[in-house]
Amino acid sequence: MDDDPMVGTLSMEVLSDAGYSAELVTDSRMAMSVIKERKPRLVLLDILMPGLDGLTLCHMIKTDPVTSRTKVAVVSAKSFKSEMERAKSFGADMFIKKPYDLKEFPKQVRVLCGPPAGEGKAKKNVLKVRAWGGREKTSTPCLSIEALGRLFILDAGKGVQALGAEFLKQGTYKEAWLLISHFHEDHVSGLGALPFLREESFHLHVIGPSEPDKKITLLLREAMQKSMGSDPRPIKAKIQVHEVREESYELVSGVRVAPFYANHPTTTLGYVLELGGRRIVYCPDTELYGEAATALQDYDEKIGRLVRSADLLIHDARYTDADYAQHKDEGHSSVTSAAQFAADNEVRNLLLIHADPSYPDSFLPTMEADAKKVMEGKGAQIPCSVVRDGLSLEV
């Protein structure tokens, strides 16, 4: 229970990675009904929440005969000694200080509610990731992710035409989720030519942001009209459009997405995808501040909380260090800053995306080597590749 969706999502994902089944509730006024319905072994509560504060909710849980045996842990930055004693007096079984240690947090939860259900059973969801399309000024490679028998697509550069044609040929999917980070041309230049759109039996979910003066439906319509030239056939697919913000959404059972705002011109989203306990973070256009950050620039720290220990980080690395110096404050990161960020946050795999189209493909191995050298200098051995057409990996 946390009214901050980003912090709440992080807690949920850390516990999911540890094997626990977790659910985020951001409205404290709904908590008691959810607890009575779900009957969880443990409830995690922040203190400072609108509606009902955490200590009041803790007292309600512990004094209601239906929920009184439910374990409660208060997780809060309001960690005064007197506040910790108040929490205990209202029945809290544990007080965990924020910011908590990501490695210790699941252990603290384990003390209260025991091991995850089904611990010891073989469980490994393989995620298949593939890049589609070349690096052009008007088109960024898009990515397909196959997981849990479902298809997810990250952005819609010109590569989505080949992507759609291949998956239609295979006949594996009749439904897909397309996550759009923003509506700059290079990220939607293939949208109107996506072959799925011409299939009457296909169901396409489109997820993305609106602009202050334009809803996502209008942005999609404009992007499709600009890119339909190569395939003017009418659209027959069922399309559902979902405008999203910095919240956590369940797409289907076992799949959640948590958008976050990225540091890039125009309204731009990154996405945390939780896929059956595996976590992918997609942030294709963003500028990290790194060591140059001022006290008021907390973007790296904020996003780091979402990225930490991710199974796969897909991050902007448009420039070499030398070229970045000429493009600072334009909304893109350097290879070094992305590699440092990955190492600092202990991700398990790294894909560097959006390499500047002026770099030939023959130069991409040099960028990979530079990134690995930076990470090794921080004691991190993280598999790393620069995204280009045809790149594939399993996570």
Domains 5-113 and 128-394 share a fold: no
Classified as helix, coil or strand, 146 is strand
Q: Provide the percentage of residues in the chain whose pLDDT is more than 90.
A: 69
Classified as helix, coil or strand, 316 is strand
CATH code that applies to domain 128-394: 3.60.15.10
- Residue 283's contacts (CB-CB under 8 Å, 6 or more residues apart) are 262, 270, 271, 303, 307, 313, 314, 315, 316
- Residue 211's contacts (CB-CB under 8 Å, 6 or more residues apart) are 183, 219, 266, 267
Are the C-beta atoms of residues 243 and 209 closer than 8 Å to each other?
A: yes
E strand spans, the chain: 42-45, 71-76, 94-97, 128-132, 142-147, 150-154, 175-179, 203-208, 238-243, 249-252, 255-261, 269-275, 278-283, 312-316, 350-353, 384-386, 392-394
The pLDDT tens digits for 323-381 are 999 999 999 999 999 999 999 999 999 999 999 999 999 999 999 999 999 999 999 99
Asked whether residue 120 carries a pLDDT value surpassing 70, the answer given is no
The pLDDT tens digits for 45-75 are 898 888 888 899 999 999 999 999 999 999 9
Asked whether residue 124 carries a pLDDT value surpassing 80, the answer given is no
| Domains in the chain: boundaries | 5-113, 128-394
Q: How far apart are CA 228 and CA 156, in angstroms?
A: 13
31 token code pair: 């908590």
Q: Measured in Å, how far apart are the chain's first and last C-alpha atoms?
A: 30
Q: Which CATH number fits domain 5-113: 1.10.10.410, 3.40.50.2300, 3.30.300.30, 3.20.20.60?
A: 3.40.50.2300
Whole-model pTM? 0.74
17-26, 253-262, 281-290, 380-389: the lowest-pLDDT one: 17-26
Residue 379 parent element (H or E): none
The pLDDT tens digits for 172-220 are 999 999 999 999 999 999 999 999 999 999 999 999 999 999 999 999 9
> Taking residues 137-157, what's their average pLDDT?
95
Residue 360's CB: how many other CB atoms inside 10 A? 8
